[in-house]
Amino acid sequence: MREYLLTLCITAAVTYLLTGPVRKFAIVAGAMPEIRARDVHREPTPRLGGIAMFFGLCAGLLVADHLANLNEVFAKSNEPRALLSGAALIWLIGVLDDKFEIDALIKLGGQMIAAGVMVMQGLTILWLPIPGVGNVALTQWQGTLLTVALVVITINAVNFVDGLDGLAAGMVCIAAGAFFLYAYRIWYSYGIEAAAPGTLFAAILMGMCLGFLPHNMHPARIFMGDSGSMLIGLVLSAGAISITGQVDPDALALFTGSEKAAVHQTVPVYIPLLLPLTIIAVPAADLVLAIVRRTWRGQSPFAADRGHLHHRLLEIGHSHSRAVLIMYFWSALIGFGALAYSVNSASMWIVLGVVFLSAIGLVLLLLPRFTPRVPLWAQRFVPPRYRRRRRDPESVVTPEPAEAARETSETEDRTPVPAGARSVNGATAIGARSGVIDRHRADRSRI
């Protein structure tokens, strides 16, 4: 675990430190497109954040190759090299798109080529665990087609959901966290070394997202662009392929008693990871809805619009940050809920907990005007934008002279008159009496 944490931290540090220089490079290179009709941000923001994320990926793989325990992943498997080859190709396509806005069909072809490169180097689905049947071996063509389809679906799902500041990076980080816990359990609890590459990919992916998020939170200083969204989508799909299609349920049968029992035990995460429907359930749902919506309107499935889930959250009244947090909540609920169910599917408390949290999520979803308050003791631990704003006396707007005079006269009119005094021509009787006494004294002095 310590070596995984070290790899994660180094990946996050490299990504974080490189994002600032990459932002300056993107501004100089002119990778700041004009604001489009579907965009949410108000000012032109540089892209190419995927450059920093790619070098973070390279740093994580380089560090893992020099660690004692993780070095075995590179010695016994070709999957890390396959991932790096496919990631480099998809990253180059994304950089070109961020700068020159290449055609959607060209990007789709590049995604398929990147998936094919990984398949040629051994990162492919060899078999499928099917409930009630057991382990079903796939032919070479079946495995290739299924692998390419999974990579393309995951890449576009992450790319479609990248519409708000910090949304894609945060959701993929949550998915990678749930995936890491599952893969780590398969490797160390059952001793299956085939799960080691997927565990490493998940740790590196978490580092890439965590290192980029501080620069990408609302208001974002830089966007990851297609060079980043397609990259993290490919890394996530590579981990899913490595675990789902490489780990043989026959090995789990040694611990559960039979192959069918092993398949049943891992179904809550195996099948959803394959499609994928839990780890990136929200982006996958957004992808399906977008394709159906655009096809129904007679548009291309790749034509951009403002009908995504995060756009709808903004339309019903949620703020930018609140919409992102709601998407985080649902991703974490589905991903970690499936993970908990896979560990102990017989526990009714897990199902009740998921139902209860789902009800809370629906309440937050339907109450866009509700603004939670951070307690005073916790304000020092949250960013300034989430703290309670205190009224600054210097920030009070000074009224104009005419308005000030009018307010002063109105205040004087409302001033209570002392007992025994009456108003005479706007002055009190006490003031009038004192004025008469002063005039008498002046006349006597002249005499």
What pLDDT, on the 0 to 100 scale, is given for residue 203?
A: 93
Higher pLDDT, 363 or 35: 363
Identify residue 114 by its one-letter amino acid code. Answer: A
Q: CB of 244 within 8 A of CB of 150?
A: no
The encoded tokens of residue 20 equal: 């600032």
Decide if pLDDT at 52 tops 70. Answer: yes
The residue type of 208 is: M
Residue 410: the pLDDT is 44
Q: Answer with the residue of higher pLDDT: 316 or 433.
A: 316
DSSP β-ladder status, 134-137 and 423-424: unpaired
- Contact status, residue 135 vs residue 248, Cβ threshold 8 Å: yes
Annotate 277-321 with DSSP letters as a single string. SSTTHHHHHHHHHHHHHHHHTT--TT---S-SHHHHHHHTT--HH
Say which range, 65-74, 178-187, 385-394, has the weakest mean pLDDT.
385-394
Mean per-residue pLDDT over the chain, rounded: 75
Distance between CA atoms of residues 140 and 264, nearest Å: 25
> Which of 55-59, 262-266, 407-411 has the largest mean confidence?
55-59
Q: What is the bridge-based pairing of β-strands 423-424 and 127-130?
A: unpaired
Lowest mean pLDDT among 93-97, 295-299, 397-401: 397-401
Q: What percent of the chain has pLDDT over 90?
A: 24
Q: Is the pLDDT of residue 103 over 60?
A: yes
**Residue 369 pLDDT more than 60?**
no
304 vs 425, higher pLDDT: 304
Higher pLDDT, 321 or 391: 321
| pLDDT score of 373 | 62
pLDDT at residue 426 in the model = 42
Q: Rounded distance, CA 317 to CA 377, Å?
A: 29
Alpha-carbon gap, residue 225 to 223, rounded angstroms: 5
Q: Note if the pTM is more than 0.85.
A: no
Per-residue model confidence (pLDDT) at position 80: 92
- Residue 380 has which token pair? 């020092």
Highest-confidence segment of 121-125, 134-138, 163-167, 335-339? 121-125
How many Å apart are CA 259 and CA 181, to the nearest integer? 23
Rounded average pLDDT over 211-219? 89
Is 90 exceeded by the pLDDT of residue 12?
yes
The residue that leads in pLDDT, 69 or 58, is 58
